[in-house]
Chain A
Amino acid sequence: MALSLSLQSGKRASPVRNALVKGWWDRLPLLPALVVVLCVTQLPFIITLYYSLQRWNLVSTSAPRFVWFRNFLNAFNDAVFLKAVFNTAVMTGSIVIASVFFGGLLAAGLNREFRGRTLARTLAITPFFIMPVAAALFWKTGIFDPTFGILGWITDAVGIGRFNWISQYPRLTIILLTTWQWSAFALLILLAGMQSFPTEVAEAAAVDGASRFYTFRRLMLPHLRPFIELTALLTAMYVLENFAAIAILTNGGPAYATTNLSYYVYLEAFSAFDLGRASAFGMIALAFAIALTVPMLRVVSGIFKEGGRA
């Protein structure tokens, strides 16, 4: 009723007001969806911000109280938090680089014609479609375990004994497992990139006597650049919140060697039940994630423009 009234009155109003009403009238069908999106994304965000300013431990006997930014200040005095930041940086960085590298190698191999290529391609992308928890369980017992694992069996057969992989190199095992999953994803995008490389260009280069390495370095790589950027961005965004591998392989240990930010937020929220601190950590983690992804998004956004970057 109110709406139709305003519409009627809008007819006699100034053209500017008329346009405004028309604009919102056009947007009307979109509004419900927008409200839903705001409710499920922005509202929890604001509430988390509110929590992060409180001292609120679910199991403690004292009632929640407002402490301003103490949770944030405490975070930077917390040795484990700083370690988690460091771990997140190391693990995310190496997983992204390694995934792009190995994904690129696999893509280069699969970009050639050979028998059984379809089968090889399917097998190569399979790791990405295995559920993270299942993959982590398999790697834990089937590969890293010194008693039951393949690695233990191989190193023993070679004569260098069995290694305690997860205890000795905890970060490396997480990086290996996650890289294994995400290089399949890199392969998927990079292969598409390579296949969109125009064959005429390759042929022309060959006619001009360019070596294969030269063709790759000077023609293929520049062509692939946006694809590599996109892969790195997406991988970084997902690997930042790596959780399953850590929870299954090490529980964040030993001595927090593999605890990343999201696992530490989980520990604070569901082991210490300190919702105030957990919210503050979540906020900081979010700030890091935005600081990392926004510049990358700006770089990558070029590829979404028509024609891409020359």
Chain B
Amino acid sequence: MEWVVLLLGRGVAAIGTSDNSVGFLGEVIYMPTTLSRLARAGAHVSTLALSIAFGLFAAQPGHAEEVTLTVALAANPQMQTAAKLIDNFYTKHPDIKVKFQTLPENQLRPTVLKDVATNSGQFDIVMIGAYEVPLWAEKGWITNLSQEYVVNDKEWNADDLIKPIRDLVSFNGDMYATPFYGSSSFIFYRKDLFEKAGLTMPEQPTWDQIAEFAAKLDDDSTNTAGICLRGIPGWGQSLAPLTTVINTFGGRWFDENWEPQLSAPKTKEAINFYVNLLKEHGQPDAAKDGWQECLQLFTQGKAAMWYDDTVFAGPVLDQASPEVKDNVGFALAPIKEKPGSGWLWAWGLAIPKTSKHQDAAWELISWLTSEEYIKLAGEKAGWGTVPPGSRKSTYMLPEYQKATSTYAELTLKAISDADPLKPTVDPVPYTGVQYVTIPEFEQIGDFTSQQLAGAISGQMSADEAIAASEEKIREIMTDAGYIK
């Protein structure tokens, strides 16, 4: 509890230092900074130290020829490679220095949000997910890259970007972030187990086929689950695969009037299907498993199929035990009614409006998302770890094709088939494939996924989970003013 208090306190101090503090808040806030300065200085006791301390605070660097960019990044392998290759950027731009702040994904979001929402201007570049880009663009927190830079920077070649990914980091047709990598979802399966059971996986399976395969491959004697699916609560965990199932079953989260649709027949059918498939032929104790656990189960040969992000194809081949490694097959995301049912995600690099070094920041993010950088990362760090799914040209590189021959083509197809602007069969007032692009969705998704986990663990029925979630969603949406 204390830490929340502290964190909030820090947030306030941050507002205080910005010039955009509001009225009364501003006054309250100005005090702590002055007091803490006094306090820090007071610790030196003598007045001499005090005056020196004030002198130091007053002495701001008056002329800065060299620009230092502070970048907030998610701690994933692709970004770590980028941090390692930064020397190549320095040789081109000797006047720019880069300070990386690497954070775990789930900490990156609150840290960056707090910074941007309170205008504290700590970061010059932030790495944000596809869900945030349009929301933050709408609030005016991040710079419109299309108008400011992309039109003038022919070398960066925006036309080379894969279209759905480009749409994903855009708002009203303008790009607000450069896509660092993009991904979709597909099926991982064990070719050897399929062969043994006399089954063949089509390139485009249906969910009915997947359920049938899972029933046949579920083997208690070897502790092998038919399929591994995420079950742990979290809007970015179990709700991502579930929402793609809802979409392809013809269901949706909301109708055109923002009326929640979880209990509509098709959505209900999809949720029941997901829960039952997981309960009957999924991995045991599924309500605790996220992608981390599924990755482990699949690579250790304890699951015959796995439906998850295309970006895990590299890690699976990398980490799999020897008997699994040579038998990993890939297939497109299963469908029911709607084709192209894979999800769509991208990590983008955006420039907060509060950054004082916008031009230098563009130099860095355009370099990090350029064709040149992708080639460099492939040569220096290995072709399997190149940031995938952002540029068409990546998939033309012979070295990349060779290193990722088993899944590159399917990844590209999955990404190209997904449509974040029209994710469902029936019309919806929102965008986003495996999420709903409204600020309230994190809260809605977390609540629903908690109830879903309750259904998966057998504490309640799927229908009870749906009813409880829908009631809460209606409450949140009414409170936020969507439902009049």
Contact = CB atoms under 8 A, between A and B. Distances in A.
Interface string A14-37: 000000000000000101110110
A241 B1 contact: yes
Contacts of B302: 147-148
A39 B109 CA distance: 27
Contacts of B283: 147
B interface SS class = helix
B38 A255 contact: no
Contacts of B293: 141, 145
A166 B288 contact: yes
Contact of B457 (A59, A164, A269): A164
B284 A146 contact: yes
Interface stretch (B95-103, B167-175, B443-451): B443-451
Given A29-B45, A145-B285, A59 B233 contact: no
Nearest to A256: B450
B152 interface: no
Max chain A C-beta neighbours (<10 A), residue from B45, B235, B439: B439
Interface in A99-115: none
Contacts of B465: 255
Contacts of A267: 446
Nearest to B297: A147
A167 B233 CA distance: 12
A69 interface: no
Contacts of B109: 270
B5 A48 contact: yes
A210 B384 CA distance: 75
Nearest to B9: A44
Nearest to A63: B22
A251 B9 contact: no
Kindly state the interface size class of chain A when it binds its partner.
35 or more
Given A31-B42, A164-B284, A255-B465, A39 B32 contact: yes
Contacts of B121: none
Contact of B233 (A29, A148, A251): A251
A249 B232 CA distance: 9
A109 to B, nearest CB: 33
B284 A272 contact: no
Nearest to B10: A44
A32 B457 contact: no
A39 B35 contact: yes
A81 to B, nearest CB: 13
Contacts of B8: 44, 47-48, 51, 269, 275, 278-279
B139 A253 contact: no
A72 interface: no
B299 to A, nearest CB: 12
Contacts of A282: 1, 4-5
A167 B135 contact: no
Interface stretch (A182-190, A198-206, A258-266): A258-266
B217 interface: no
A168 B279 CA distance: 13
Contacts of B40: 36
A266 B233 contact: no
Interface stretch (B110-118, B255-263, B391-399): B110-118
A interface SS class = helix
A165 to B, nearest CB: 7
A305 to B, nearest CB: 28
Nearest to A3: B47
Nearest to B139: A61
B436 interface: no
Interface string A106-132: 000000000000000000000000000
A32 B38 CA distance: 8
Contact of A168 (B225, B453, B457): B457
A226 to B, nearest CB: 26
A167 B4 contact: no
B480 A60 contact: yes
Contacts of B36: 36, 39
Interface string B205-241: 0000000000000000001010000001111010000
A13 interface: no
B287 A167 contact: yes
Nearest to B7: A269
A250 interface: yes
A255 B459 contact: yes
Interface of B: 1-2, 4-9, 11-12, 28, 32, 35-36, 38-40, 42-43, 45, 109-110, 113-114, 117, 135, 139, 223, 225, 232-235, 237, 283-288, 293, 296-297, 300, 302, 439-440, 442-443, 446-447, 449-451, 453-454, 456-460, 465, 480
28 contacts: A32-B39, A35-B35, A35-B42, A44-B6, A44-B9, A57-B439, A59-B135, A59-B439, A59-B440, A141-B293, A148-B302, A164-B285, A165-B285, A241-B1, A241-B2, A253-B287, A254-B454, A254-B456, A255-B459, A269-B7, A270-B109, A271-B446, A272-B443, A273-B110, A273-B113, A278-B8, A279-B4, A279-B8
Q: Which 7 A-B pairs have the closest CB atoms?
A: A255-B454, A44-B9, A167-B457, A254-B453, A32-B42, A59-B439, A164-B285
Given A43-B32, A144-B285, A145-B293, 17 more contacts: A32-B45, A33-B43, A36-B36, A59-B442, A60-B440, A146-B284, A164-B287, A165-B285, A166-B287, A251-B234, A253-B449, A254-B233, A256-B450, A269-B110, A272-B446, A278-B4, A285-B1
